[in-house]
Structure 1
Amino acid sequence: MIIIGAGLGGLALAHGLRKQGIDVAVYERDAHPGARPQGYRIQLDEPGLTGLRECLPAALFELCLSTAGAPPARVSVRNRRLDVLADKAAAHSSAAADVSGPRAFNRPTLRQIMLLGLDGQVHYGARLVGYGHDADGRVTARFADGRTATADLLIGADGVNSAVRGLLLPGARVEDAGLRLVYGRIPLDGSTRAQLPSWVFESIFTVVTGGPGQPHLGLGPVEFGRRPEEAGRALTPPVDLSPVGDYVACLVGAPADHPAMPPFAELRTLAPAALRDLALRWTGEGWHEDVHGLLAHWDTDSLFPLRISTAAPVPHWQPGPVTLIGDAIHAMSPVLAMGANTAVRDAGELTRALAEAAGRGEPFVRAVGRYENRMREYASRIVADSRQTGQQRVGQR
């Protein structure tokens, strides 16, 4: 099997296939794992934790859990004066995942763990430029540097700007959701935690909204169950995980048509200090003093901009030796924290379908068809729910 993309979904799938005795190679366009910022906090609950457990070796799954934080399993929405608009329980994990509630992961740590055990299977600097169907039913991928790879199945796990989707489903559209974010961290070092308002730590995620069509603030604490570097050393054999301190993921977002919003091409060129100044303009007068206090603790060097996208519905397509998982097929607004959950769920669903086909001696294409039918069913609902919630809370288009 060939997987295009070494993000969370692609790596989960690689482990899942290896557990089933299926040969796999992962091709990633980035030159190395840290080639570009990919965010900080990731929330996994149901069904992401179940998919993660299905795919990962038991030792790696336990290592992931040991480094995750477990904030109160509630999601809160407040207005700019911090009046509570909504406060509800976050999704519960299933008994199969053997976890008591949703977890907050540090995304770079999670990805670093998921790369363990895949030595020689992940190939960097490999930008897909095309693929062809061979006479024997297999598929050959072609890369910009001249490399080729042939397998029974090619899976696009290459994100919102998926090259595989562009080739397989050229009519599939990923739409601009009309939101721009400045994303960063508030380090919880020294006395900082004591200086932050207690309500920040009372939910796994909090949205402070200025109202439809207005800026918003998002906050998610990441307090490690065990520091990654310590958890890695305790493993047998020990592994090196990069040291990371506790933090609060902090984003400020605004609609693309906000008067103080530059075009995204310009936003991408701004230095972190300029991004900070811009976000402070969005959350000026009328916002509670707690918000201003929180942003005073923002780590300026951690800031980078994001444009939010969402997938348009895709007409049914015929299954074949090429398929898609994660944002490559169902990009969604982050307001429900279901993007990573759904990508890892896809990895588990596809692994299970392929393992069943192998056990029955069926062609893999039949398994792909079953997976795609199932994935379309659950993912289309989540994309629609994310769009609706984003429209209600933060002015998504």
Structure 2
Amino acid sequence: MLFPYRVIIVGAGLGGLALAHGLRGQGVDVAVYERDAHPDARPQGYRIQLDEPGLTGLRRCLPAPLFRLCLATAGAPPARVSVRNRRLEVLADRAAGGGSPETAGGSGAAGGSGGPGGAAGPYAFNRPTLRQIMLSGLTGHVHYGARLVDYRHEADGRVTARFADGRSATGDLLVGADGVHSAVRRLLLPGARVEDAGLRLVYGRIPLDARSRAGLPDWVFESIFTVITGGPGHPHLGVGPVELGARPEHAGLAQRPPAALSPVGDYLACMVGAPADHPAMPAFEELRELTPAALRDLALRVLGEDWHEDVHRLLARWDTHSLFPLRISTATPVPAWESGPVTLIGDAIHAMSPVLAMGANTAVRDAGELTRALGGAGDAPDPAGPLVAAVRAYEGRMREYAFAIVADSRRTGQRRVGQRERPRPLPR
């Protein structure tokens, strides 16, 4: 059924944009408010992995032509995840998404081999391309430079969001899709905690072409993701190939209507991680101020000399200008709260370590679950009204699946890459 309400979404990341598409497909009046001044205001990362249930959420939300364009521009590396030690001896190697989520960098969700145009996945997406595709279908619905400062409940049951620049927006439902530092979460659930997992990453990419690919070791292309670990409390390296099925700029122009997608070549996503208390690792505030060249020097210093020569050959090809730092965060479980016309999706409620590659998967799943719940609003009578009943149903499902994945990610991160056992609160 059509959902005859207006929905305000705070945050134009993948989860928020997927939700906007899903609701618009049901005739909902949607507006997305993003605090960044423009889509490219800050680094958004490079490779993300989607398999089930993320692909189901994406399919449920996006119009069919945009979903096909997403898959066409994705890569489908071998659906395996590998963990190796610093001498490149295999510690674990299994099908991506199969079985218990024991492997750093894996999926933890049911999946199988797939390819562009197929269904099951997993797929390696270039995150900026995926976001551009989603934005291309939301022209006029995304508003930038809008930093949420508060919201208020109106007498008629609606919600008004107020932004720092004086703008405001009123809707029947307000959805916080605004990430780890969610302003909506702080207002809705002031006791909910997101903690510093005690890991720092220097993240970048290695460009691939026929010549450079020929000079790289075969093992980097044999899995969708490979973690090379020095053991708990020691540095680690993560590598994931992104070899796109179609050039985005060409595939976008073939779309009807055309989608203007930025050119991008194949690459290896490559990150060096270390515990925050590593002797060579500065405080995160200092890390953020380092130049790309200084980040490269720091990563090499943190990693040290006693790693397989293949690792050093890989890092010699790092694109220095692509480097930026990340702090890994993890949420604590949140007890059930009283549902109402404000809710949360993605990292705004269940931030997690990336070791299971489930952060984006779960955010897009949230978008699909909330779309489905709202699409059925009114199917059963409820004293709170159809909207609140739908939100309550979504929140109950989301807490059950999402916080189980957060816990799995935490355990795997502690075992494989030294994620802190007793995380500390993030600074506000």
TM range (shorter): over 0.9
Aligned to 1:205: 225
Aligned to 2:75: 69
State how 1:1-397 maps to structure 2 within 5 Å: 1-91=7-97, 92-93=110-111, 99-189=119-209, 191-358=211-378, 362-397=385-420
Code of the residue aligned with 1:379 in structure 2: it is: A
Secondary structure of the residue aligned to 1:69 is coil
Secondary structure of the residue aligned to 1:191 is helix
Displacement after TM superposition at 1:319 (Å)? 0.2
Question: TM-score, normalization: structure 1?
Answer: 0.98
* Identical positions, percent: 80
Displacement after TM superposition at 1:299 (Å)? 0.1
Q: Which has the larger displacement, 85-94 or 284-293? A: 85-94
Displacement after TM superposition at 1:359 (Å)? 5.4
Aligned to 2:107: none
Deviation digits for residues 248-286 of structure 1 (CA, Å, limit 9, x no counterpart)? 000000000001111111000000000000100122221
Secondary structure of the residue aligned to 1:105 is strand
Query: For the Cα contact (< 8 Å) 1:50–1:94, is it kept in 2?
Result: no
Whole-angstrom distance in 2 between the partners of 1:34 and 1:50: 27
Query: For the Cα contact (< 8 Å) 2:136–2:260, is it kept in 1?
Result: no
Whole-angstrom distance in 1 between the partners of 2:370 and 2:112: 19
Secondary structure of the residue aligned to 2:71 is helix
Displacement after TM superposition at 1:93 (Å)? 3.6
Change (3 A) 1:370 1:52: same
Code of the residue aligned with 2:143 in structure 1: it is: H
Give the gaps of 5 or more residues in structure 2: 1-6, 98-109, 421-428
Query: For the Cα contact (< 8 Å) 1:42–1:106, is it kept in 2?
Result: yes
Deviating 4+ runs (over 3 angstroms): 92-95, 358-362
Query: For the Cα contact (< 8 Å) 2:369–2:394, is it kept in 1?
Result: yes
Code of the residue aligned with 2:273 in structure 1: it is: G
Code of the residue aligned with 2:196 in structure 1: it is: D
Code of the residue aligned with 1:339 in structure 2: it is: G
Displacement after TM superposition at 1:316 (Å)? 1.6
Displacement after TM superposition at 1:287 (Å)? 0.3
Secondary structure of the residue aligned to 1:24 is strand
Change (3 A) 1:367 1:98: farther
Aligned to 2:3: none
Secondary structure of the residue aligned to 1:389 is helix
Whole-angstrom distance in 1 between the partners of 2:177 and 2:248: 26
Instruction: Figure out how many residues of one structure are paired with residues of the other and give that number.
Output: 396
Q: Which has the larger displacement, 182-191 or 27-36? A: 182-191
Deviation digits for residues 88-139 of structure 1 (CA, Å, limit 9, x no counterpart)? 10124489x9514200000000000001221111000000000000001110
Secondary structure of the residue aligned to 2:289 is coil
Whole-angstrom distance in 1 between the partners of 2:240 and 2:160: 42
Query: For the Cα contact (< 8 Å) 1:139–1:154, is it kept in 2?
Result: yes
Query: For the Cα contact (< 8 Å) 1:49–1:93, is it kept in 2?
Result: no
Query: For the Cα contact (< 8 Å) 2:232–2:414, is it kept in 1?
Result: yes
Deviation digits for residues 199-234 of structure 1 (CA, Å, limit 9, x no counterpart)? 000000000001110000000100000010111122
Deviation digits for residues 39-65 of structure 1 (CA, Å, limit 9, x no counterpart)? 000100010000000000000000000
Code of the residue aligned with 1:391 in structure 2: it is: Q
Displacement after TM superposition at 1:358 (Å)? 4.7
Whole-angstrom distance in 1 between the partners of 2:222 and 2:68: 25
Give the gaps of 5 or more residues in structure 1: none
Secondary structure of the residue aligned to 2:29 is coil
Aligned to 2:106: none
Secondary structure of the residue aligned to 1:268 is helix
Whole-angstrom distance in 2 between the partners of 1:231 and 1:122: 23
Query: For the Cα contact (< 8 Å) 1:30–1:125, is it kept in 2?
Result: yes
Whole-angstrom distance in 2 between the partners of 1:237 and 1:142: 34
Change (3 A) 1:354 1:98: farther
Secondary structure of the residue aligned to 1:2 is strand
User: Aligned-pair RMSD on alpha carbons?
Assistant: 1.3
Deviation digits for residues 143-162 of structure 1 (CA, Å, limit 9, x no counterpart)? 00111111110000000000
Query: For the Cα contact (< 8 Å) 1:10–1:157, is it kept in 2?
Result: yes
